[in-house]
Structure 1
Amino acid sequence: VAVNIDSFRRERPEDSFHGWLWRITRNKVNDHFRKKLKAPQAQGGSTAQALIHEIPVQFPNEPTTEDQERDHAAISRRILRLLEQDFEPRTWKAFWRVAVDEVPAKSAAEELNMTVGAVYNAKYKVLCRLRQELDGIA
């Protein structure tokens, strides 16, 4: 996912990041089972099977909190860049000033020559869309 996140494109209105992740997951699972069907079957009796089961399963190192935070930040930045393309520049700027920069809505409204209600509406629209994109990922 991390390698191909830049290839995500929203070509139709119904395309979502969640759907893209689901397709990747489905394809990887299908690849796994296709590969497993092609693999030669192990030979040997129950003794060989018992010996195989005695080998401890080694899991890769768990990702650190730092790794998880870095990955989360990278994904968040990518999602925000993709979302920005779907909104008018002034709508996005109003959202950004209030939600990210934590500027009071009244100040953002004056800065962008908008009403306070329009600033709140812009923030609401973008946050709704963000929740829609993140639904099922977290």
Structure 2
Amino acid sequence: MTETAHTQSEPARILLVEDNPGDVRLTKEAFEQGRIENDLSVVSNGAEALDYLSRRGEYADAPRPDLILLDLNLPGKDGEDVLEDLKDDPKLRSIPVIVLTSSRAEEDIAQSYELHANAYLTKPVDPDEFIETVRAFEKFWFSVVRLPPEVDSR
């Protein structure tokens, strides 16, 4: 069994669940400027996220992410529903989920942790601050934290 789900020779696999094209662009830019090699996949709604993670339909060959960045305000199935479904699934629950959202509402923060989010980050409005937040997150989660190994999910 490996110590982490990714090694220095293997890029970190990140799934970004975000419907705002501007935030997707800023997140990609932040990861491109970062020091950690990564493979960022993007889906724009909750139903797509669950299809990706369950490897259904067009996502049959999708890699299991090391970490999920999840917006709460999604069309259709919202982020809280996605988080609840993920944490209820024994094959997916060990994947760390970081809520990355514009909401500063205390009830959203409390509910996210109640649903077992691993962290809650509020998106800064300023683009430079947004990029700095993503880079700080990247450094912490991929340089400091030991991620769980992938379990055989098939």
Q: Do the two structures share a fold, i.e. TM-score over 0.5?
A: no
TM-score (norm 1): 0.24
Max radius of gyration: which structure? 1
Higher helix share: 1
TM-score (norm 2): 0.22
Higher strand share: 2
